[in-house]
Structure 1
Amino acid sequence: MSKTEKDSSGLSYDESSIKSLDWREHIRLRPGMYIGKLGDGSAKDDGIYVLVKEVVDNSIDEHMMGHGKVIDVVITESRVTVRDYGRGIPLGKVVDVVSKINTGAKYDSGAFQKSVGLNGVGTKAVNALSNYFKVQAIRDGQTKYAEFKKGVLVTDGKMTKTDDKNGTYVEFEPDNAMFKNYHFIPEYLDDLMWNYAFLNAGLTINYNGQKFFSKDGLLDLLKQKSDAEDLRYPIIHFKGNDIEVALAHGNQYGEEYYSFVNGQNTTQGGTHLAAFREGVIRGVRDFFKKDFDASDIRASIIGAIAVRVQEPVFESQTKTKLGSTNMAPDGVTVKSFVGDFVAKELEIYLHKNATVADALQKRILQSERERKDIAGIKKLANERAKKANLHNRKLRDCRFHLGDKNPRNAESMIFITEGDSASGSITKSRDVETQAVFSLRGKPLNSYGLTKKVVYENEEFNLLQHALNIEDGLDGLRYSRVIIATDADVDGMHIRLLLMTFFLQFFPDLVKAGHVFVLETPLFRVRNKKETIYCYSDEERAAAINKLGSKPEITRFKGLGEISPDEFGAFIGDNIRLQPVLLHKDSHLQKILEFYMGKNTMTRQEFIIDNLRIELDRVEAKDKDVITEEVAEEI
């Protein structure tokens, strides 16, 4: 074919077809290559949090190299500022460091031996994806700054004198054209700052007026993530060169891990986490001289591991999964380094702490009894589930799943709906490539206080478990987001609570890992002949009425089934609104479940009545007692 000849598609392929993009154009055209998915901030791995991390990571790397013990972070609704007190960017390279790909100090292994960012892309991506970006370096009594808009240099400040302490200041505002309707969720940012503190004992992070500081590293992390009353023995904690480990066993179902590489929270694990899990099994077996089943050893475990790896290889730019097999280019493997260390140190610890060893053995034997107790029913249930999967009317699956090697795997989600009318609307309007639907028969069973046997005895729970593929942990989870989609009424709220109880009771790690969400759908449709506005609250309805004027038509949606498929498509597409299910760091899971879903009916009744009095203030005094009695009877 000649250089101007057209191919079979009818399109010409010549010199004009070859395009070269500059660094900012490439990042803005393919942001997923640099920060993963864009998102609106409802998920903890959405792009706006990656932007924050990329900037803070640089300050952390300075601290790791022994420069700067304090980092100041301020995050408002739309703007982020980060100030460290390290060495400061060399003044002559302030512009280049944030605007030229493959420019940075981290290619020099002498300057940053074991940092997170090794590809020179991080702050360039933040710059390119920000409406406004400012960088300022303070170094030895002099300072220089530069300002950008969407990666384009608009101000190149001159070098001037200053009395400020050495360090680097970065300020940016994410581009709202790229990150549509974005919002920062405080709990996600709190977790991020705490993780930085836990992994860098002695570092102080001042974030929005709050101090984040840790003395004992991963020991402090597990103390925060668990409740002392639920742990079977005191947390085991030990450190070595380039490795730190903490672990304990509780009473919850499943396994719960927090893993880190060079300060990066590897939420999807990787070679270091796999080695840690294997090391725990080996250490326990070696100490007790018994070939315990691996699942019994790891059942109810809560663990944390942090390693420092030279030139780490991650499976994506967002660095959520370690792919490195070696600790250093010419060093020992990650598997043997981590596995041998954990096995050896755990065995030594158990020899020195007989009480802990006894408590650990009791937990393992309890798990063994529970596993054998449900073995029969589990086998039958799994056989039923396999038959159902051949033609599972409850599940309308999608094409791509979380574990697939496909660019859209992180977009995969499943909607859990109540009844056929709601699932019908979603099914007709969904993206069949990334959105699945699981339809409930009605109100699910209240599973609080029941054993895991109920997951297999209850057909609906068992089919849901298999649809998600979480029977043996989160490694096989098929969807990035598990979305509860129920009506915005009392029955819908009840179903929502019952599903949350199911997940928190039997699969708490699914919630803690940030995979469970609640779908927000509009309560009202306000429209006239020219415009239609969907409103998610009374305040939005009032604003819409004020905007449209002239008595617009107002529709109140009572259930998801009332929303047509054509309309529903707008609510589960690019503008989908999701509310993440979060556990506050001070929450006691079992106490929460017991209060809301236990048999303490009178206590709950009194709580509800007490909190209803705020609304009852609007009622005439003579009617208050009557209304209170009617509410109490209904409850």
Structure 2
Amino acid sequence: MEENTNINSEFEYGSDAIKTLDWKEHIRRRPGMYIGKLGDGSHADDGIYVLLKEVLDNALDEHMMGFGKQIVVEISSEVVSVRDYGRGIPLDKVKDVSSKMNTGGKYDSKAFKKSVGLNGVGIKAVNALSSSFFIQSYRDGMSNSVSYACGEVVSESGLMPTDEPNGTLVQFSPDGTIFKNYAYREELIEPLLKNYVFLNTGLTILLNGRKFHSRNGLVDLLNEYMTTEPLYPIIHLSGADIEVVITHSNQYGEEYYSFVNGQHTTQGGTHLTAFREAATRTIKEFYAKNFEYTDIRNGMVAAISIKVEEPVFESQTKTKLGSKDVGPDGPTIAKFIGDFLKKELDNYLHKNGEVADVMLKKILASEKERKAIAGVTKLARERAKKANLNNRKLRDCRIHYNDTKGDRQDESCIFITEGDSASGSITKIRNVETQAVFSLRGKPLNTYGLTQKVVYENEEFNLLQAALNIEDGIEGLRYNKVIIATDADVDGMHIR
């Protein structure tokens, strides 16, 4: 038999298979590399909001450098317009900064010392992913503008006289062939603009005529986003390149908001880790008691904003800080934040005895409850495990989310039903491979306003907790989706 050395010529790998894309084609083919997911505007992290944010960040950087106190944003169904009143792009570089990759003013830390736009990519991505893009710079009585379509130059104005004050105007329309059926939603834009003004006192942003402004910085931010009342007046500390606010509430767990150079780092990073450690350590040392860190942080609500030179983020969308240092010649972020809190937070607690007393009572209450829960949980786990051996409430499936084998873990789910009749109906039609059913005995317990101890003593909840395998934390969850399947009445709403 003759050997076939050319199995499939269609898949030959030769020099013709190597392609070089120009900057705009690469962005349009691989938009996820630059702006994350695309979406249609129904979620705050959809691509059209990243485009808006990239333009806003440039305007914000001007304000942070001390130029321009107002940014005007206008959004219609098709066109987004952002006008800042900063220095204006150097007129001979308007085309370069909007269409040449790795070109921008933020490589020079003297011009933009603490900027969020670092890679010379953002505005170019907006350009390439827009069906129309227009940029105009006003500088010292002259202007220059360039129009694009999908990153291709359509026209250039050249230098022209103008009566407009200094600054930059950017107008763009996201490409409908990339962002299918998109629509901007003001309710998703508002939190972004609020964060900008909270982090930059003195800045005013107008959105379609609506004014966003903050006088008290991060204090306003905490008052805006806190879901419960603070137990004591918000502690507000600020210094060179750092601002911190801290309080406690009667909620469980911790709640943090972190920012770097005006960028909301929703996934935290090195600065948030350093803050949590330093704040807890400072408080523990102030009281000179051997408190558990978890008791100090239970109920803590805080925000931190720092400014660093040349920050390193873990993605182009800048949601998590990876930097270890505040700048090339500066201390580590951990030392910078630690030294600041050791001095300022310790001083504040010494000067404000009433606040320190309320904080101490909260920590002691958390410690007492944690110890009480430890005893209750141990007994409850033993009861739940015994009951689980013959747990008729749980009709399990074969594939679980925390399985180490198989490729269908993401399909696993559990239906939490109201009563045996409902669970029986779902059980008959479920997929036994991936769908589990747990039957509740009506309304287990109204937990509103109750302590964790009372909740952990509830047998129904313990059985459910054991079924979900979350006694030691959410990491052990056995199902990728938890589906509440109840009647559309008052009892069903209560359970939901």
Task: Name the TM-score, length of structure 2 as normaliser.
Answer: 0.84
Taking only the aligned residue pairs, the percentage that are identical comes to 51
SS in 1 for 2:106: helix
Q: How far is 1:162 from its partner?
A: 1.5
**Paired AA for residue 274 in structure 1:** T
Runs of 5+ unmatched residues, structure 2: 389-393, 405-409, 418-422
One of 368, 393, 396 as aligned partner of 2:396: 393
Query: Would the alpha carbon gap of residues 85 and 282 (structure 1) be closer, same or farther in structure 2, given more than 3 Å must change?
Result: same
Q: How far is 1:95 from its partner?
A: 1.8
**Paired AA for residue 333 in structure 1:** T
Query: Would the alpha carbon gap of residues 30 and 453 (structure 1) be closer, same or farther in structure 2, given more than 3 Å must change?
Result: farther
Q: How far is 1:452 from its partner?
A: 2.3
Deviations 1:402-438 (A, max 9, x none): xxxxxxxxxx89977555777999979xxx9xxx977
Counterpart of 1:180 in structure 2 is 180
Distance across 2 between alignment mates of 1:424 and 1:44? 39
Query: Would the alpha carbon gap of residues 482 and 226 (structure 1) be closer, same or farther in structure 2, given more than 3 Å must change?
Result: farther
Distance across 2 between alignment mates of 1:103 and 1:92? 13
Deviations 1:79-127 (A, max 9, x none): 3211101111122221221111101100111110110010001111111
The CA RMSD over aligned residues, in Å, is 3.6
SS in 1 for 2:11: coil
Distance across 2 between alignment mates of 1:484 and 1:78? 37
Counterpart of 2:369 in structure 1 is 370
Distance across 1 between alignment mates of 2:324 and 2:186? 35
Contact 2:68 2:85 survives alignment (8 Å):
yes
Counterpart of 1:123 in structure 2 is 123
Query: Is 2:72 the partner of 1:69?
Result: no
Query: Would the alpha carbon gap of residues 238 and 437 (structure 1) be closer, same or farther in structure 2, given more than 3 Å must change?
Result: farther
Distance across 2 between alignment mates of 1:415 and 1:180? 30
Query: Would the alpha carbon gap of residues 88 and 372 (structure 1) be closer, same or farther in structure 2, given more than 3 Å must change?
Result: same
Counterpart of 1:40 in structure 2 is 40
Distance across 1 between alignment mates of 2:202 and 2:385? 51
Across the two proteins, how many residue pairs are aligned to each other? 470
Runs of 5+ unmatched residues, structure 1: 402-411, 500-635
Counterpart of 1:536 in structure 2 is none
Contact 2:78 2:173 survives alignment (8 Å):
yes
Counterpart of 1:277 in structure 2 is 276
Residues 322-471 of structure 1: pairs in structure 2 closer than 5 A = 322-379=321-378, 393=396, 397=400, 417=415, 419=417, 441=439, 445=444, 446-453=446-453, 456=456, 457=458, 458-459=461-462, 462=465
SS in 2 for 1:112: coil
Deviations 1:385-418 (A, max 9, x none): 8998xx99379655899xxxxxxxxxx8997755
Residues 95-174 of structure 1: pairs in structure 2 closer than 5 A = 95-174=95-174
Q: How far is 1:498 from its partner?
A: 3.7
Distance across 1 between alignment mates of 2:162 and 2:87? 15
**Paired AA for residue 177 in structure 2:** A
Distance across 2 between alignment mates of 1:125 and 1:333? 32
Counterpart of 1:26 in structure 2 is 26
Contact 1:135 1:171 survives alignment (8 Å):
yes
Distance across 2 between alignment mates of 1:331 and 1:455? 48
Contact 1:231 1:249 survives alignment (8 Å):
yes
Contact 1:6 1:13 survives alignment (8 Å):
no
Distance across 2 between alignment mates of 1:425 and 1:349? 62
**Paired AA for residue 200 in structure 1:** N
Distance across 2 between alignment mates of 1:100 and 1:154? 15
Query: Is 2:303 the partner of 1:300?
Result: no
**Paired AA for residue 188 in structure 2:** Y
Distance across 2 between alignment mates of 1:148 and 1:8? 43
Contact 2:61 2:116 survives alignment (8 Å):
yes
Distance across 2 between alignment mates of 1:483 and 1:146? 51
**Paired AA for residue 140 in structure 2:** D
Distance across 2 between alignment mates of 1:27 and 1:253? 43
Counterpart of 1:200 in structure 2 is 200
Query: Is 2:93 the partner of 1:86?
Result: no
Q: How far is 1:182 from its partner?
A: 2.9
Distance across 2 between alignment mates of 1:373 and 1:248? 24
Contact 2:141 2:162 survives alignment (8 Å):
yes
Distance across 1 between alignment mates of 2:430 and 2:345? 50
Q: How far is 1:150 from its partner?
A: 2.1
SS in 2 for 1:155: strand
Contact 2:416 2:482 survives alignment (8 Å):
no
Deviations 1:146-168 (A, max 9, x none): 22222222232333221111111
Contact 1:417 1:423 survives alignment (8 Å):
no
Contact 1:279 1:342 survives alignment (8 Å):
yes
**Paired AA for residue 213 in structure 1:** H
Query: Would the alpha carbon gap of residues 22 and 81 (structure 1) be closer, same or farther in structure 2, given more than 3 Å must change?
Result: same
SS in 1 for 2:59: helix
Deviations 1:218-238 (A, max 9, x none): 1221122237x8211100011
Query: Would the alpha carbon gap of residues 6 and 117 (structure 1) be closer, same or farther in structure 2, given more than 3 Å must change?
Result: farther
Query: Is 2:248 the partner of 1:245?
Result: no
Counterpart of 2:319 in structure 1 is 320
Contact 1:314 1:321 survives alignment (8 Å):
yes
Q: How far is 1:177 from its partner?
A: 2.7
**Paired AA for residue 245 in structure 2:** A
Query: Would the alpha carbon gap of residues 166 and 234 (structure 1) be closer, same or farther in structure 2, given more than 3 Å must change?
Result: same
Q: How far is 1:251 from its partner?
A: 0.9
Counterpart of 1:490 in structure 2 is 488
**Paired AA for residue 245 in structure 1:** V
Distance across 1 between alignment mates of 2:9 and 2:371? 61
Q: How far is 1:259 from its partner?
A: 0.2
Distance across 2 between alignment mates of 1:220 and 1:177? 40
SS in 2 for 1:146: strand
SS in 2 for 1:127: helix
**Paired AA for residue 323 in structure 1:** G
Query: Would the alpha carbon gap of residues 277 and 165 (structure 1) be closer, same or farther in structure 2, given more than 3 Å must change?
Result: same
**Paired AA for residue 173 in structure 1:** S
Q: How far is 1:379 from its partner?
A: 3.6
Distance across 2 between alignment mates of 1:265 and 1:395? 41
SS in 1 for 2:190: helix
**Paired AA for residue 97 in structure 1:** V
Residues 549-628 of structure 1: pairs in structure 2 closer than 5 A = none
Deviations 1:572-614 (A, max 9, x none): xxxxxxxxxxxxxxxxxxxxxxxxxxxxxxxxxxxxxxxxxxx
Distance across 1 between alignment mates of 2:26 and 2:431? 35
Counterpart of 1:268 in structure 2 is 267
**Paired AA for residue 51 in structure 2:** L
Query: Would the alpha carbon gap of residues 321 and 380 (structure 1) be closer, same or farther in structure 2, given more than 3 Å must change?
Result: farther
Distance across 2 between alignment mates of 1:346 and 1:286? 11
Q: How far is 1:185 from its partner?
A: 3.5
Contact 1:394 1:440 survives alignment (8 Å):
no
SS in 2 for 1:490: coil
Moved more, 459-468 or 305-314: 459-468
Distance across 2 between alignment mates of 1:427 and 1:163? 70
Contact 1:245 1:303 survives alignment (8 Å):
yes
